[in-house]
Chains A and B, each alone.
Chain A
Amino acid sequence: MSNDPRSLSTELSKVRFLGSARSGVLDSWRMRLTSAALIPLSIAFVWIVLSLIGKDYNQVRAALGSPLESVLMLLFILAGVYHMHLGMRSIIVDYVHDNALREWTLIASACFCACIALACVYSVLRIGFA
């Protein structure tokens, strides 16, 4: 960056494109937010799965459909899938160097995450409301 006092370029144009001053830190914040949420939620998920061992179909549905289990599963799914989306996006931008392929891979990953989230949320709600 030039600090020449005779320069006619504005202060804004000097710093533009030299780094993020907008939403660059947002993904980093959301990664930490979902990470923090997933510490108790993944422990709850493991506990729920363990509690279902040895149960038959109707018992599994009854357990998964109870309010506490349903809400914990929904929170785990939503925080988990958003965390997956952000994580896979940083993996893709690190390793896929071709521009077009990178964009399509990002789109595919976002769609995959949306499908997983919706399939899981719909199923949990369906079991709960049945």
Chain B
Amino acid sequence: MSDANARPAAPSARPLSPHLQVYRMTLTMAMSIVHRITGGALYVGALLLAWWLIAASTNARVFSTISWFLASWMGQIILFGFTWALFHHLLGGIRHFLWDAAYGMDHPEREYLAQATLIGAIVLTIAVWAISFMVR
């Protein structure tokens, strides 16, 4: 421990509160960050839903344009990402509900929950896309 009376050279340079860079990265922390990123991605992704619905309500010609885009490799990658982000955020939200009720906050449980969210979202995404390839 340093001398308690020693004044820091530049008080203004001290952090206002502990933030991301002072902690070792853990799975739960990474999942928290990814929850926010997927939320932001879905926010932007809502544009795609609005575009698709507007096209469907306009006419067949406009609808064929977005259908072509969504069926292209770029559209398929965006839709795949959207599906994963939706499931990841959905399972993350359920995990937050469990934490709100004070379940699964202790050491092994919270790690299992984080792993279940991560793996569950990937499994659900692959399952939905498997169904989509079967029905098309």
Q: Mark A24-50, 1 if CB is under 8 A from B, else 0.
A: 000000001001101100100010001
Expressed in whole angstroms, the minimum distance between the Cβ of A104 and any Cβ of chain B is 17
**Is there an interface contact between A36 and B50, defined as CB atoms closer than 8 Å?**
no
In the complex, identify which listed stretch (B1-9, B24-32, B34-42, B115-123) lies at the interface while the others stay far away. B34-42
Q: Chain A residues with Cβ under 8 A from B57's Cβ?
A: 122-124, 126-127, 130
**Is there an interface contact between B50 and A88, defined as CB atoms closer than 8 Å?**
no
CA distance A124 to B135 in the complex (A): 24
Interface of B is mostly: helix
| Neighbour of A57 across the interface among B39, B63, B96, B136, CB < 8 A | B63
**Is there an interface contact between A80 and B100, defined as CB atoms closer than 8 Å?**
no
| Neighbour of B53 across the interface among A35, A42, A124, CB < 8 A | A124
**Is there an interface contact between B39 and A87, defined as CB atoms closer than 8 Å?**
yes
Q: Chain A residues with Cβ under 8 A from B56's Cβ?
A: 57, 60-61, 64, 123, 127
Binding site for A on B (CB under 8 A): 36, 39-40, 42-43, 46-47, 49-50, 53-54, 56-57, 60, 63-64, 83, 86, 90, 93-94, 96-97, 100, 128, 131-132, 135-136
A-B CB contact pairs (8 Å), 14 listed: A32-B97, A35-B96, A50-B132, A53-B135, A54-B136, A60-B63, A64-B56, A87-B39, A88-B43, A91-B36, A116-B47, A120-B50, A123-B54, A127-B56
